[in-house]
Amino acid sequence: MNRPAHWALSPLDLQAHLLLAEGCHPKGVLKARCGHLLPLRARRFREVSARKCTDCHLMSLSEAILALRRENPIRKDVSR
């Protein structure tokens, strides 16, 4: 599964937030992973040039690391 991250620029704090998956948003708003709420009209994008919210940024980094680990599992050296 290769689902690109969706970021949205909040008009409230002018930072980019990482959005929850589709279907996980409360009615009428967009919700970010950090809990920040954004209006539905917030501009969404995949590549972020705006300043990122620190919490969302850290979550996106840790998810990227976990995804890499899944793709390239650390080989365990089994010494007899």
Nearest residue (CB) to Zn ion, 46 versus 80:
46
Choices 19-27, 38-46, 56-64, 65-73; region in contact with Zn ion by CB under 5 A: 56-64
Using CA atoms, how far apart are residues 18 and 38, in angstroms rounded to an integer?
Answer: 11
Binding string, residues 15-54; x marks residues near Zn ion by CB under 5 A: --x--------------x-x-x----------------x-
What is the three-class DSSP state of 37?
Answer: strand
Buried b / exposed e over 36-75, threshold 16 CB at 10 Å, is: bebeeebeeeeebeeebbebbbebbeeeeeeeeeeeeeee
Nearest residue (CB) to Zn ion, 43 versus 69:
43
- Interface residues with Zn ion (CB under 5 A)? 17, 32, 34, 36, 53, 56
